[in-house]
Amino acid sequence: MIKRLDAAGLLALVESAQPVHEIDVAGTDLRGLNLSGAIYNQVSFKGCKLDDVALKDCTVVSCDFSGASLSGVNAADSIFVDCLFDDASFVNANLNSVPFRGGSAQRCNFSGADLRDAVFNVCHLGEARLGGAKLEAIAVIECNTAAIDLSGAVLHRTLLLGVDLTHARLAGMRCEEAVFHKASMAGVDLSGMTLLRSQFMETDLTGARLSRAHLAQTGFKGAKLLGAQLDGVQAPNALFVEADLSQAQLAGANLAQAHFIDALLTGARFSQARLVQAMFHRARCTGAKFDGADLEYTDFSYADLSGAEFGGNHWLRTKFHAARRDGLVLPVGASILYDDEELAEAERWPTAA
């Protein structure tokens, strides 16, 4: 049976080290109290004023904080399991290293909150506002992130696994060493953003806009970038291994030393791109356009270049070893390396059983 308590009754339970179980304090003003070190189970804090409350070293299970004000709350070393925070406010709260497992925080405001090393695991974060929070090393794992607000967020060493960001607010976001794994980001606008040394592994970026984005050392292994706009990107040393960039636009992009190994590049456009020392091993480049591209030391070994278009290129020891060149016309006298017979003989050498 749910028991109704006032602030004094709740504080008495906490100070006597008793579990706080099946208690209703909804709408109560608890501001500034020390409620640390307790176990809370099935407690209704709905609509409570919990501003500047100490809630450290607590285990909080199946509690309702819907609509509560938790601004400035200090919840260090606490655990929240299957709790409701819909429409609550964690403005400037200390949630460093706090795990949220299950539950819901729809439309919750985390502006200014310290969420470094926090973990959201299978939570509902629809329309939650995290843009103004400290998000270093945060993990968001298989959460419902419909229309989540990450405007202006700095994602440093952040993990987002299995999330849907197709309708997220991402304006002004910056990423460094962030990991997006199996995320849904089709059609998102990342134009001009800084996404350094980040990973978009097996992420769906179909039709995404990344024009002029800064992608140095960023990885897109196994990502879907069909029809994506990457014109003018700064992406030296970027990895597009096994990625699908069919019909993608990469005109004028800086892709020096980028790797397109085993990538699908059907109809992709690299016009005027800088592809110095880029690697296209086994890439399927049928119908791709490389007109005006800088191909100094570019390596197309084993690639399928059937129907690809070249013209007005800068050539210097550009390699086409064992590449399929059906219908491809290359300039005579240019610094181009065709099939290497000695290398081909070595490749035919039987390997040990």
Q: Mean pLDDT in each 10-residue stretch from start to end of the chain (353 residues)?
A: 91 92 97 96 98 97 98 96 98 97 98 97 97 94 97 96 97 96 98 97 98 98 98 98 98 98 98 98 97 98 96 96 91 88 75 51
pLDDT the model gives residue 4: 94
pLDDT the model gives residue 351: 62
Nearest CA to 139 among 127, 151, 126, 156?
Answer: 156
Beta-strand pair 179-181/159-161: parallel
d(CA 219, CA 36): 43
Q: Taking the domain 1-90, which CATH number applies?
A: 2.160.20.80
Residue that the structure tokens 């029809």 belong to: 227
Q: Taking the domain 95-184, which CATH number applies?
A: 2.160.20.80
pLDDT the model gives residue 182: 97
pLDDT the model gives residue 347: 75
Q: What contacts 24+ positions apart, CB below 8 Å, involve 183-192? A: 186/224, 191/229
CATH class of 185-353: mainly beta
CATH 2.160.20.80 maps onto the chain at: 1-90, 95-184
pTM, to two decimals: 0.92
pLDDT the model gives residue 230: 98
pLDDT the model gives residue 353: 45
Q: Residue 328 is encoded by which pair of tokens?
A: 């491809």
CB 53 within 8 A of CB 75: no
d(CA 350, CA 353): 9
